[in-house]
Amino acid sequence: MKKLPRVECPRCGRAIAAGPVAGRMSKGRLWRHDAPGARRDAEGVLVSCADSLTIVDLPLPSVQLEIEIDVPAPAPDDEMALF
């Protein structure tokens, strides 16, 4: 199983897994994650951190070695339909 690098979210400061961005090997997309405090809106749905899915620089130069790897789809998440 491939491990994703973790990048500090610029908004909430948590270490969030960053998925690959097609064609941009030095970039990663912050995994969708709940806002600090995990608030819920009127429908009871968890509120995402505003920087979920933000494109960030990856800290690991070794990502270049992984170009040939067929990266698996993001982990199942009932709100990952954006992908």
Please compute Rg for the chain using Cα positions.
14
Q: Which of 5, 11, 21, 27 binds Zn ion (CB under 5 A)?
A: 11
- Is residue 49 close enough to count as binding Zn ion by CB under 5 A? yes
Q: Which of 4, 7, 9, 18 binds Zn ion (CB under 5 A)?
A: 9
Q: Which of 6, 8, 12, 59 binds Zn ion (CB under 5 A)?
A: 12
Stretch that binds Zn ion, among 4-12, 18-26, 37-45, 68-76 (CB under 5 A): 4-12
Encoded amino acid at 4, one letter: L
Stretch that binds Zn ion, among 20-28, 42-50, 64-72, 75-83 (CB under 5 A): 42-50
How many residues contact Zn ion, by CB under 5 A? 5
